[in-house]
Amino acid sequence: ETGVTQTPRHLVMGMTNKKSLKCEQHLGHNAMYWYKQSAKKPLELMFVYNFKEQTENNSVPSRFSPECPNSSHLFLHLHTLQPEDSALYLCASSQDFGSGSREQYFGPGTRLTVT
Amino acid sequence: GQNIDQPTEMTATEGAIVQINCTYQTSGFNGLFWYQQHAGEAPTFLSYNVLDGLEEKGRFSSFLSRSKGYSYLLLKELQMKDSASYLCAVKDSNYQLIWGAGTKLIIKP
């Protein structure tokens, strides 16, 4: 595997379910990100981890819970979601977070539908 | 508040040139990025500008004017595979990327 991978690619869940999204990067990067992409809206940054430490949480509801066990893996735990949470969830990584970092590399995303 | 504006959709002809504009108002500036996103796929990095001027990379060029809060992406010799959304993003004073909603580019034969 190369680059950034995400599983599952598609997920349908009810509002009472608990599920997790997984992201893995094979680039040796130290920063990882979760984004939400809704149709015709800008990418919304949800969480940032730099060297396994969470540096940003952009007022994301507590029904989204991130976990970063090491620099290569990132999870997003989901519980009691709402229909408006249906979107494409993108994971990204970069060399690090800050002025020295350049581009971010994205995974293919998980298309989430909440019923 | 912070804001990135770009056209929602543009149409161009195969073989032609198209310019996609982006204007921004952000708290601080640490660089501007352009990404390409094909339908159903991940965004991929195209260009990065942090100083004023033109950066050229093959058929794609990106221009930045920090005083005007303005950038454009220029695509030459358009090919059908260039049909995609083009995302403009600015790194703000907190080093977070602020994204535009993207410009959907449609290429016609």
For B59-90, what is each residue's pLDDT tens digit?
Answer: 999 999 999 999 999 999 999 999 999 999 99
Backbone angles phi, psi at B81, to 5 degrees: -70, -10
Q: Identify residue B16 by its one-letter amino acid code.
A: A
Question: CA-CA distance, B33 to B10, in Å (whole number)?
Answer: 19
Calpha distance A94→A100 (Å, rounded): 10
CB contact under 8 A, B48 and A4: no
Which residue from A42, A97, A108 is facing B99, i.e. has the nearest CB?
A42
**pLDDT, tens digit, for every residue of B1-42?**
789 999 999 999 999 999 999 999 999 999 999 999 999 899
Helix count (H) and strand count (E) of chain A?
0, 11
- Tell me which of A27, A37, A89, A103 to substitute to probe the interface with B (most B C-beta atoms closer than 10 Å): A103
Q: Is the pLDDT of residue A99 over 70?
A: no
Per-residue pLDDT, averaged over A71-89, amounts to 95
Contact B45 A41 (CB under 8 A): no
Instruction: Check: CB of residue A110 under 8 Å from CB of residue A11.
Output: yes
Residues 6+ apart with CB under 8 A from B107: B11, B12, B13, B14, B78, B79, B80, B82, B83
